[in-house]
């Protein structure tokens, strides 16, 4: 009787340990999956910032005055989106941050170029006025 | 049994010597070109009175990013992040330089306008 009981007990123990192993495996799998997604969330904020900055750069006529920086920013934004699709969230964040800062640079460069040209135009206008005035005074002197 | 062996006579000493040298060189000279470039660019901008005078805020931003890069490099030992932050810092220095030039141009415009009148 006790022997039967013992055998039964052994079987139960074996079954128990098997369920434990399976449970552990399930937990491990769950941790693996959730751990992956917990370690890296899609960098939505960084991406949104980069997109905003790129739009601002376009508005500042960066396509005309800082095309290389704008192009590079666009490529990095595209790369960031692809990295998100491939669930490489760290890469995606870095690419979005790089895109943002490059777009910012493109914007400032474009603004600077526009300002510089405006200053040049103004200088030309003043020079023209000065030469006109000079000619005028010479004319009045020669008369 | 020669008990008057000095440290220099022991083979372990000579074996340990190159090892120590390798370790000390390894610790002292782990350099990162990206980080050095960013550091260099930042220092040059810091010594440029035009940038310091006209784009101090942008330059501070660059400095903060550079600090983050240094931290990632020395404390967190995260090479990828350190290089990424170094790149951002370098771009921020460029932004500061461009901002300084933009403000210079704006000032010029202001002066020329008052001259014209």
Interface predicted TM-score of the whole assembly (ipTM), two decimals: 0.75
Shortest CA distance from B101: residue in chain A: A112
Write out pLDDT tens, residues B104-113: 999 999 999 8
Among A70, A116, A121, pick the best mutation site for testing chain B contact (most B Cβ within 10 A): A116
Co-location of A25 and A54 in the same domain: no
Domain-embedded: residue B112: yes
Q: Do the chains contact at B91 and A122, CB–CB below 8 Å?
A: no
Q: Which domain holds residue A28?
A: 1-39
| A15 within some domain | yes
Q: How many domains, chain A?
A: 2
pLDDT at A7: 57
Residue B10 lies in a domain: no
Residue A38 has pLDDT above 80, yes or no: no
Interface A-B, measured as beta-carbon pairs within 8 A, has a size of 54
pLDDT in tens, B42-52: 999 999 999 99
Q: How far is A115 from chain B (nearest CA, A)?
A: 6
Residues A53 and A102 both lie in one domain:
yes
Contact B91 A125 (CB under 8 A): no
Query: What confidence score (pLDDT) does residue B102 get?
Result: 96
Residue at A3 is within a domain: yes
Question: For residue A6, what pLDDT is reported?
Answer: 59
Summary mean pLDDT of chain A: 85
Let me know if residue A143 belongs to a domain.
no
Which residue carries 């991406």 as its tokens?
Answer: A47
| pTM summary value | 0.72
Q: Is B19 among the domain residues? A: no
Domain count across chain B: 1
How close is the nearest chain A Cα to the Cα of B21, in Å? 37
């Amino acid at each position: 009787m006790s022997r039967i009981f013992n055998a039964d007990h052994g079987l139960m123990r074996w079954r128990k340990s098997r369920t434990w192993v399976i449970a552990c495996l399930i937990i491990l799998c769950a941790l693996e999956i959730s751990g992956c997604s917990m370690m890296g969330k899609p960098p939505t904020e960084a991406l949104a910032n980069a997109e905003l900055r790129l739009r601002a750069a376009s508005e500042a006529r960066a396509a005309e005055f800082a095309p290389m920086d704008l192009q590079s920013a666009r490529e990095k934004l595209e790369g960031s989106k692809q990295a998100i699709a491939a669930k490489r969230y760290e890469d995606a964040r870095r690419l979005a941050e790089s895109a943002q800062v490059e777009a910012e640079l493109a914007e400032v460069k474009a603004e600077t170029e526009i300002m510089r040209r405006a200053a040049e135009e103004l200088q030309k206008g003043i020079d023209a006025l000065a030469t006109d005035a000079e000619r005028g005074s010479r004319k009045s002197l020669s008369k | 049994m020669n008990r008057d062996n000095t440290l220099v006579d022991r083979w372990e000493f000579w074996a340990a010597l190159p090892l120590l040298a390798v370790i000390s060189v390894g610790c002292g000279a782990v350099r990162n070109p990206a980080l050095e470039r960013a550091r260099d660019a930042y220092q040059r901008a810091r010594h440029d009175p035009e940038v310091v005078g006209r784009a101090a805020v942008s330059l501070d931003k660059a400095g903060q990013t550079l600090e983050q890069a240094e931290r990632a490099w020395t404390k967190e030992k995260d090479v990828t992040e350190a290089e990424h932050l170094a790149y951002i810092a370098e771009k921020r220095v460029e932004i500061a330089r461009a901002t300084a030039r933009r403000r210079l141009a704006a000032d010029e415009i202001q002066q020329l306008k008052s001259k014209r009148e």
